[in-house]
Amino acid sequence: MIFRWEVFIFFLFFLYAAFSDSDVLTIKIVEDIDNNWANNLWNQPQTKLTLEPKVKEANFSGPSHFKSLLGKCYEKVTTSYRYVFCPFRNVTQHEISLQWKPYNGILGVWQEWEIENNTFSAMLMRDGDKCGSIYRSVRVVFTCASKNQVSDVSEPQLCHYLLHFETPLVCQKQSMFVYPYLSSNLKDAWDEIEGELLRKEITEKGYKKELVKIFTAAGFFLSDETKKDLAKNISKKTADNEKTETKFESLEKCSAEYTRLLAEMEGLRTLISLTARLKEQERKEDEETPGYKSESSSKEHTSSPLLKNRKKKN
């Protein structure tokens, strides 16, 4: 984008220079280009978007047939955004816009399952980009369909997104039951607390607590320890983010420089049109003078009072 602007600006300068057919003005234009400005532009770091996740994604977990989604990404394009859902990886959002800094960000990173009524009910992608004092997150829910696709993305609560994913993987209800995906050890543990609950040896609350332990041991829920592990790289990533911000800062400066230049160009434009009018007037006067050759007099024209004035300013 930035280089196109630059080319455009130079193009305009040369266009004006060519049309003005005045040596003085051409020289003036070249001098007017601030060296710093030119250097800034040429030395701009590439504005490649680096979406830096704040946490590492968790390992795959859950119903084994969902492994078929590993390594795949699904897009959803709306009028203003392109969403990309990479199961067990991340959800990103890309603003479709011609503005200077369209939003490109991470809405969530794969963490764990939501389990309701002993059934896998949603994928939770958390710790996306910062949103005020919280981090963006996405709840991915599934509906049965013949083909894998993101059918809808909404934001029911500020920075908490809901992504509807259509997939044949959930068409068999039992395929989302948690129990079959547990190791035999954990199945045994579950059987045991089930018995204890029946015999009223534990409370409903105690039973639920034990169940959470089982789901955590299976990796469907993240333990606090694993959460910490995944976030360990935050500090390193934060340092990277700061670097990115510096880049934007200098881009903003550059943008300001561009605005300043536009204003200056406007000034030149006015000058050129004034000069042209002045010349036209002079030429008319020349033509009215018999025996005067207008071509040979071009040198004198460039030293019109206006241009002399401009020259002196340097």
Encoded one letter per residue, x for contact with ligand NAG by CB under 6 A and - for no contact, window 229-248 reads xx-xx---------------
Among 28, 54, 76, 89, binds ligand NAG (CB under 6 A): 89
Decide: helix, strand or coil at residue 50: coil
Residues in region 48-67 near ligand NAG by CB under 6 A: 51, 53, 56, 58-59
E strands, the chain, are 74-77, 81-86, 90-95, 104-116, 119-127, 130-131, 134-135, 137-144, 149-157, 160-167
Nearer to ligand NAG, 56 or 283 (CB): 56
The least CB distance from residue 116 to ligand NAG, in Å, is 7
Supply 42's token pair.
């040429």
The stretches of 133-198 forming alpha helices (DSSP H) are 184-198
Question: According to the binding rule CB under 6 A, does residue 104 interact with ligand NAG?
Answer: no
Supply 50's token pair.
């680096």
Nearer to ligand NAG, 106 or 124 (CB): 106
The b-or-e profile of 264-300 (16+ CB within 10 A means b, else e) is ebeebeebbeebeeebeeeeeeeeeeeeeeeeeeeee
Q: Any idea which residue has 């300043």 for tokens?
A: 260
Among 17, 66, 87, 90, binds ligand NAG (CB under 6 A): 90
Question: According to the binding rule CB under 6 A, does residue 114 interact with ligand NAG?
Answer: no
Among 25, 29, 86, 115, binds ligand NAG (CB under 6 A): 86
Nearer to ligand NAG, 25 or 193 (CB): 193
Among 92, 111, 275, 304, binds ligand NAG (CB under 6 A): 92
Residue whose C-alpha is closest to residue 103's, from 136, 73, 72? 136
Distance CA 206, CA 190 (A): 13
First to last CA, the chain: 32
Question: According to the binding rule CB under 6 A, does residue 136 interact with ligand NAG?
Answer: no
Question: According to the binding rule CB under 6 A, does residue 250 interact with ligand NAG?
Answer: no
Nearer to ligand NAG, 58 or 214 (CB): 58
Question: According to the binding rule CB under 6 A, does residue 268 interact with ligand NAG?
Answer: no
Among 148, 226, 241, 255, binds ligand NAG (CB under 6 A): 226
Nearer to ligand NAG, 79 or 117 (CB): 117
Distance CA 48, CA 137 (A): 24
Question: According to the binding rule CB under 6 A, does residue 26 interact with ligand NAG?
Answer: no
Contact 186, 179 (CB under 8 A): no
Question: According to the binding rule CB under 6 A, does residue 117 interact with ligand NAG?
Answer: yes
Rg (CA), the chain: 33
**Number of residues forming the site for ligand NAG (CB under 6 A):** 17
Residues near ligand NAG, by CB under 6 A: 51, 53, 56, 58-59, 73, 86, 89-90, 92, 106, 117, 226, 229-230, 232-233
